[in-house]
Amino acid sequence: MEWLALVWNTLLGTVKDVLPIVIIIFGFQIFVIRRPVPNLRRVLVGFAYVLFGLAFFLVGLEKALFPLGKLMATQLTDPGFIAGQSSHAAAGLDWDDYIWVYVFAAAIGFSTTIAEPSLIAVAIKAGEVSGGAIGVWGLRMAVAVGVAVGIALGTFRIVTGTPLHLYIIVGYIIVIIQTAFAPRMIVPLAYDSGGVTTSTVTVPLVAALGLGLAGTVPGRSPLVDGFGLIAFASLCPIISVMAYAQLSEWRARRKNSNGERNTD
């Protein structure tokens, strides 16, 4: 019962969030387009599914994953745990003593991205539009690998205290170079995938990790160093999605040239 009450409350919250969207859509539909919505009933049922789906999804996360994930983030960044893993704790901690933090960062970045609803939505659309040339699953894997690398790099940056803008600038330079060489079709999708990764599932867990780490590492301030993980999580998928397309193109080309050689 307590669970269902939670779902109901969350549902009311989601309805409130969606209200402006509904008002804008139907306002324009009625006053500007002045045509009935095609399949109105189906669309309304679809909206209801989305609302109920999000409510269940959020309550499930809130009750099951977030408490445990946040607890783990604090435990793994706890000075006691990190010193226990270190062979030279007395001499002070080095960046390599935080190895489990990086592994956890990558693993949690990867796994939360796979479950991210907005990424599922964009992947479905991309599969449809490309006529199946871009696989739904392949795109999601590519984005998830990007987020994993990004979050791991981000935690490394917090531990070492190197300036954020250096990483971001280098990242953008890589993006610019890749844009020139990657298959043209993938570029817009790659840029978009940077924006969809940081959403319902990823942000709360990653924020907990960043704040925990910035509060633990000597000389870091949660206010200044706690952020920035999100920036990594939106930059790295752009690189990994373009790399995925480049890799597939390269493999297809190699296969073709091998085939030609064999027929000689």
Which residues inside 235-254 make contact with other proteins, applying CB under 8 A? none
Which of these segments, 29-37, 154-162, 245-253, 255-263, binds other proteins (CB under 8 A)?
A: 29-37
- Pick from 91, 204, 210, 110: nearest CA to 159: 210
Of 129, 251, 255, 258, the residue at the interface with other proteins (CB under 8 A) is 129
CB of 259 to other proteins, least distance (A): 26
Element (H, E) at 87: none
How many CB atoms lie under 10 A from the CB of residue 69?
20
At residue 79, the 3 state secondary structure works out as helix
Of the listed pieces 87-95, 151-159, 187-195, 255-263, which binds other proteins according to CB under 8 A?
A: 187-195
Query: Which residues 94-113 are close enough to bind other proteins by CB under 8 A?
Result: 100, 104, 107-108, 110-112
Integer Cα distance of 215 and 73 in angstroms: 12
Binding residues among 55-84 for other proteins as defined by CB under 8 A:
55-65, 68-69, 72, 75-76, 81
Name the percent of the chain in helix, strand, coil, to the closest 5. 85, 0, 15
| 17 sits near other proteins (criterion: CB under 8 A) | yes
Residue 130 interacts with other proteins (CB under 8 A)? yes
Binding part of the chain for other proteins, among 42-50, 90-98, 152-160, 249-257 by CB under 8 A, reads 42-50
Q: Which of 5, 8, 12, 42 binds other proteins (CB under 8 A)?
A: 42
Nearer to other proteins, 83 or 115 (CB): 115
- Nearest C-alpha neighbor of 176 from the set 231, 242, 122: 242
Binding test (CB under 8 A) with other proteins, winner from 5, 172, 255, 256: 172
Burial 187-211 (b: 16+ CB within 10 A, else e): bebbeebbebbbeebbbbbbbbbbb
